[in-house]
């Protein structure tokens, strides 16, 4: 079983943000990844963490049935599991307005369609090891973005 814990952080919100994911294979931490942006929001960082985790699964050709991604953002979990199909049918609009973060939601939807894994909500700051580690690393990503004035996700990867 592969469990991936994700988290995002932003201080202030909006402001400098960080994201992270931690991979556990059979209960052992095997991989971490984090990043950040000096100008972001908490929701964008939470979404980016989940997108990065799914992309990691695709890149490493992980088995679909053995992967569960955990997020402490109900917005992201419900967006991935419930709302994205309706948003796509409606042209990524919400009512008469454009959907906030539509580009990122489209990327998550495409990745999740390519890698249909379970995305599950977990209570944040409740002592769950993977969630606590992802939270700590998201803050590392946020501080790194500030130190290096990183202004895009692509820049962080460079």
Report, as an integer, the average pLDDT of 131-138.
97
Among 121-125, 139-143, 151-155, the range scoring the smallest mean pLDDT is: 151-155
In a domain, 158, yes or no: no
Q: Return all residues near 26 (Cβ < 8 A) that are at least 6 apart.
A: 1
Distance CA 25, CA 29 (A): 7
- Whether residue 157 lies inside any domain: the answer is no
Q: Are 83 and 105 in contact (CB under 8 A)?
A: no
Tell me whether residue 48 is in a domain: yes
The parent domain of residue 51 ranges over 2-152
pLDDT, one tens digit per residue, over 40-83 is: 999 999 999 999 999 999 998 877 668 999 999 999 999 999 99
pLDDT for the residue numbered 98: 86
Domain assignment present for residue 34? The answer is yes
Residue 145 covered by a domain: yes
- Of 80 and 152, the one with more pLDDT: 80
On the question of pLDDT at 157 being above 70, the answer is no
35 occurs within a structural domain: yes
Residue 132 has pLDDT above 50, yes or no: yes
Please state whether beta strands 97-98 and 93-94 pair in parallel, antiparallel, or not at all (unpaired): antiparallel
**Spatial contact of 123 and 70, defined as CB atoms under 8 Å apart:** no
* Burial grade of 127 (CB within 10 A; 0-12, 13-18, 19 or more): exposed
- Look at residue 71 and tell me if it is in a domain: yes
Residue 37 sits in a domain whose CATH number is 3.30.420.10
- Signed CA dihedral, 31, 83, 42, 127: sign only: negative
- pLDDT > 60? residue 156: no
Total count of domains within the chain: 1
Give yes or no for residue 153 having a pLDDT over 80: no
Per-residue pLDDT at 65: 65
Query: 7-45 pLDDT, tens per residue?
Result: 999 999 999 999 999 999 989 999 999 999 999 999 999
Q: Is the pLDDT of residue 6 over 90?
A: yes
d(CA 65, CA 117): 7
Arithmetic mean of pLDDT, 117-139: 96
Mean pLDDT confidence for 143-154: 77
Q: What is the pLDDT of residues 84-112, one digit of tens each?
A: 999 999 999 888 888 999 999 999 999 99
């Amino acid at each position: 079983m592969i469990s991936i814990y994700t988290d995002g952080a932003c201080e202030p919100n909006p402001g400098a943000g960080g994201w992270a994911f931690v991979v556990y294979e059979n209960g052992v931490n095997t991989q971490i990844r984090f990043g950040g942006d000096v100008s972001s929001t908490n929701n964008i960082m939470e979404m980016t963490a989940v997108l990065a985790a799914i992309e990691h699964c695709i890149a490493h050709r992980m088995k679909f049935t053995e992967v569960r991604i955990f997020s402490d953002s109900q917005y992201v979990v419900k967006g991935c599991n419930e709302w994205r199909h309706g948003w796509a049918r409606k042209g990524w609009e919400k009512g008469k307005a454009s959907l906030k973060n539509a580009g990122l939601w489209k990327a998550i939807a495409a990745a999740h369609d390519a890698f249909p894994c379970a995305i599950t909500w977990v209570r944040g700051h409740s002592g769950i090891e993977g969630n606590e580690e992802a939270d700590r690393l998201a803050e590392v990503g946020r501080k790194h973005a500030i130190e290096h004035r990183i202004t895009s996700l692509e820049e962080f990867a460079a």
